[in-house]
Structure 1
């Protein structure tokens, strides 16, 4: 048995959406009708990502909203989805979002290279530190 995290990829030929379920905080931003693309992201079906439900531009814009970084994308012939600017955003009553290419140095010598958006825990209760796992909602964390 492998301890390697699950990573799934879905492609429409122009864009490949990468999903890392272990990073998902179930914000529902991707699929709820008010904020998401319900024709693309359908959590009650398998496979749950159906790229034919939206344009490449719509899909990229929606994936950019993922607060945990569980969803990312790369364009055809692109090795990495490069973000040129680093931006830090504090979500009210939620995680610290870091947009851009960063290296996270963990205890010891382990490093993780991440891109797009990474959600860091601010409440101190995450079981996946330093990353947010959505526990702030359960404990009613507030600024």
Structure 2
């Protein structure tokens, strides 16, 4: 595919996400939103025209900087007999698919947090593949699985982040997702690890009734 027509998202300095050539944008209700070749998507949490930017970030003095007390981007490893699990808490959006759907393996407050031998490896792998943020990955038979060649689209999580698949992220400040295949971008403006979601939308009780 020509580089000029590949879908991409650029993080603008203290401003919106600039999405180019993204043909699929869907809200949490499953409704497809009309797209344009270039779109500016709100990331300050204050737009009156969500998911699109309306300039509110400038009026509220929004900062896209990372905060020093953020959870660091660091990969933790949980080695099992037939599958090993990897987690980067720094980019976790805390949607909870792992702890809710496979609590025998993933349990909040437990040390270690994950037990790779507590369920069938294929069941664990399928669960990890559903993780929207890219925080989870795995190896089976020595092969790392973290990219799944997903179709380019942006999906809006209810009162939460933009879940992105198959779209290259360009951040002039150098931030890289755990995988370019899928990641979650902050939409509420409160993440300490911008541009990535860190679950702060729960803390600030972010609401977007429209989407």
Residue in structure 2 matching 1:118, options 155, 171, 183: 183
Partner in structure 2 of residue 104 of structure 1:
169
Counterpart of 1:48? 113
Question: Secondary structure of 1:62's match?
Answer: helix
Alignment partner, residue 88 of structure 1: 154
Larger Rg: 2
In structure 2, do the counterparts of structure 1 residues 71 and 79 end up closer, same or farther at CA, with 3 Å as the change threshold?
Answer: closer
What residue in structure 2 maps to residue 10 of structure 1?
78
Higher relative contact order (CA 8 A, sep 6+): 2
Q: 2:117, 2:140 → 1: CA distance?
A: 16
Q: TM-score with structure 1 length normalisation? A: 0.76
- 2:117 alignment partner, SS class: helix
Q: Following the alignment from structure 1 to structure 2, what is the Cα–Cα distance between the partners of residues 125 and 21?
A: 17
Decide which of 91, 99, 113 is 1:31's aligned counterpart: 99
State the TM-score, normalizing by the size of structure 2.
0.55
Aligned to 2:195: 130
* Conserved 8 A contact 1:31-1:42: yes
Corresponding pairs, count: 135
Partner of 2:159: helix, strand, or coil? coil
- The answer on whether the counterparts of 2:90 and 2:198 sit within 8 Å (CA) in structure 1 is no
TM-align CA RMSD: 2.5
The secondary structure found in structure 2 opposite 1:18 is strand
Q: Which structure 1 segments of 5+ residues have no match?
A: none
In 2 relative to 1, CA 31–111 (structure 1 residues): closer, same or farther, beyond 3 Å?
Answer: closer
List runs of 5+ in structure 2 lacking aligned partners: 1-71
- Decide which moves more: 44-53 or 11-20: 11-20
1:57 pairs with 122, 136, 142, which one?
122
